Amino acid sequence: MKIKELITEKEWRSAYKVMHQLRTHLDETSYLDLVKEAVEIDRYHLVALYEGSKIVAVVGFKAMTTLYYGRFVWVCDLVTAEESRSKGYGEQLLTFVHQWAEDHHFSSVALSSGLQRQDAHRFYEDKMAYSKVSYVFKKAL
């Protein structure tokens, strides 16, 4: 197992197949455009977990500061390839994010998860000790 931050367009492209399992609405071009913009403007980090030379899980996160949370890290994306689930890869990547946050002096890690993702909710609450603290609301414009 190896965990590595992806920093080039070629590396981002190599993670698309796994990320697409979570972000099915994005074609590869849209995905690459959004990653590039998020890295340049929003301090987004894309990190992959490799099994040998194959990416089996990815996490995207960014450092943020708000009046509610203070200095914290927001997990934007976390997905393990379908054929590699239940092997602890999500836990390894979230643990990586927790350590990154501590190393960079952030006080917490937060994320949102779709209402339909019951298995993910159990993972966050039971395995990773996350607490439900709010609902996320969205309005399309």
* Model pTM score: 0.92
pLDDT for 60 equals: 98
- CA atoms of 26 and 50, how far apart (whole Å): 22
Q: What percent of the chain has pLDDT over 90?
A: 88
Give the tens place of pLDDT for each residue, 98-130.
Answer: 999 999 999 999 999 888 888 888 999 999 999
The angle at the Cα of 120, spanning 103 to 112, to the nearest 5 degrees, equals 60
- Average pLDDT score over the chain: 95
pLDDT for 141 equals: 95
Number of helices (H), then strands (E), belonging to the chain: the values are 4, 5
pLDDT for 109 equals: 97
Give domain limits for the chain. Answer: 2-127
pLDDT for 115 equals: 83
pLDDT for 54 equals: 97
pLDDT for 105 equals: 96
pLDDT for 119 equals: 86
Give the tens place of pLDDT for each residue, 41-97.
Answer: 999 999 999 999 999 999 999 999 999 999 999 999 999 999 999 899 999 999 999
Q: Does domain 2-127 have CATH number 3.40.50.1100?
A: no
Give the C-alpha distances (Å, rounded to integers) separating 47 from 14, 75, 77. Answer: 11, 11, 10
